[in-house]
């Protein structure tokens, strides 16, 4: 049996082969492979699950293809408001940020909050002030600008609607989960939110227990989907609870929550998860999910579509 494993996601939704050019598909697969390797190399060298999920998530945040970090979508006001969270299954410590701008890697700031403050969740200008104190890297608005993303905003800006990432229905959150050789697990999630979002809207990604959760006793989970439904269902924690209190396996718990509980209330999306025994689950009820996994024996897969 493998003693370490990592899984990543780059968003879920209506992702169809018919709507993807071969060139674009190659770009996504390469980006997923690179992010996976960023985390896997840490695990294979004996590093911690916490460092591995951070490494993978930073790589996804730095890639403009995904709705997190550099690739974040625009709000109604034409700016970026990013969210992220991280949790350490060993200590049950967590850190999260919401509504921040110009911080290059929100996941690194989340880790700083977890390790260097008595808080879990910081928001907006206060979080940015703490980021400066921690010497986190900032970037100009130009770094986060993408004509493709800006055109998405212009399409619907006056309609009052929000759009879930790309022009097709897609939830562009990114995240990672891992189990290391020491038996510890961790989870991280990062997102740019919804195109044309207003009023300081916050989804599930920065909320511990909803979009992210990790506990060495059970599992580590990172979610991607319509955040309002994942918040109501407390998805990540629910999976842990089903394992701890009902004795369900990781696969059983993920299937119950994603394909039954969420669908009953109209929630679309998916999640990635690993458990304390280095089992892995990548489950979604949408047409596709950008995803990848790899274990200590070299087994793994990089996928986009259903089936």
Across the range 236-258, mean pLDDT stands at 98
Enumerate the domain spans of the chain: 5-305
**Whether 60 contacts 10, CB under 8 Å:** yes
**Backbone phi, then psi, for 50, in 5-degree steps?**
-60, -50
The answer, yes or no, to whether residue 103 has pLDDT greater than 50, is: yes
Which stretches does DSSP call E strand in 112-226?
121-123, 170-171, 174-179, 185-191, 212-214, 219-225
- Beta pairing class for 5-13 and 185-191: unpaired
Categorize the per-residue pLDDT at 153 as very low, low, confident or very high, splitting at 50, 70 and 90.
confident
First to last CA, the chain: 25
**Whether 8 contacts 35, CB under 8 Å:** yes
Across the range 14-40, mean pLDDT stands at 93
**Whether 210 contacts 237, CB under 8 Å:** yes
- What pLDDT, on a 0 to 100 scale, did the predictor assign at position 171? 64
115-131 pLDDT, tens digit per residue, is: 999 999 999 999 999 99
The answer, yes or no, to whether residue 166 has pLDDT greater than 80, is: no
The answer, yes or no, to whether residue 15 has pLDDT greater than 90, is: no
Overall fold of domain 5-305: 3.60.20
pTM of the model: 0.95
- What pLDDT, on a 0 to 100 scale, did the predictor assign at position 154? 84
> Which residue has tokens 């979002």?
197
The answer, yes or no, to whether residue 268 has pLDDT greater than 50, is: yes
The DSSP string of 45-113 is TT--HHHHHHHHHHHHHT-TTSSSGGGPPP-TTS---EEEEEEETTT--EEEEEEE-SBS-HHHHHHHH
**Whether 44 contacts 5, CB under 8 Å:** no
Report, as residue numbers or ranges, the catalytic residues. 173
- What pLDDT, on a 0 to 100 scale, did the predictor assign at position 163? 55
208-234 pLDDT, tens digit per residue, is: 999 999 999 999 999 999 999 999 999
pLDDT, mean over the chain? 93
| pLDDT > 90 in the chain, percent | 82
Task: Name the least confident of 58-62, 80-84, 149-153.
Answer: 149-153
> Which residue has tokens 């274990």?
295
| Strands of 280-284's sheet in order across | 212-214, 219-225, 269-275, 280-284
Categorize the per-residue pLDDT at 162 as very low, low, confident or very high, splitting at 50, 70 and 90.
low
């Amino acid at each position: 049996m493998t003693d370490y494993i990592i899984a990543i996601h780059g968003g879920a939704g209506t992702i169809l082969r018919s709507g993807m050019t071969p060139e674009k598909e190659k770009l996504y697969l390469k980006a997923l492979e690179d992010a996976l390797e960023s985390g896997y190399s840490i695990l294979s060298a004996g590093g911690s699950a916490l460092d591995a999920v951070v490494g993978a998530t930073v790589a996804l945040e730095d890639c403009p293809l995904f709705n997190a970090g550099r690739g974040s979508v625009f709000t109604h006001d034409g700016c970026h408001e990013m969210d992220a969270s991280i949790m350490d299954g060993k200590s049950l410590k967590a850190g999260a940020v919401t509504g921040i701008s110009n911080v290059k890697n929100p996941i690194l700031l989340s880790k700083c909050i977890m390790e260097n403050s008595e808080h879990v969740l910081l928001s907006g200008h206060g979080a940015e002030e703490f980021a400066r104190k921690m010497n986190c890297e900032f970037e100009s608005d130009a770094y986060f600008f993408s004509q493709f993303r800006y055109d998405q905003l212009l399409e619907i800006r006056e309609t009052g609607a929000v759009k879930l990432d790309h022009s097709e229905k897609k939830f562009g959150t990114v995240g990672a989960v891992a189990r290391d050789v020491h038996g510890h697990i961790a989870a991280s999630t990062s997102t740019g939110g919804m195109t044309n979002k207003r009023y300081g809207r916050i989804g599930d990604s920065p909320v511990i227990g909803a979009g992210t959760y990790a506990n060495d006793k059970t599992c580590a989970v990172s979610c991607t989907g319509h955040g309002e439904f994942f918040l109501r269902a407390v998805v990540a924690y629910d999976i842990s609870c089903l394992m701890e209190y009902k004795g369900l396996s990781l696969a059983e718990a993920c299937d119950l929550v994603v394909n039954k509980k969420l669908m009953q209330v109209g929630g679309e999306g998916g999640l990635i998860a690993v458990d304390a025994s280095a089992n892995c689950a990548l489950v979604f009820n949408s047409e596709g999910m950008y995803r990848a996994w790899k274990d200590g024996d070299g087994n793994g897969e990089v996928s986009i579509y259903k089936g």
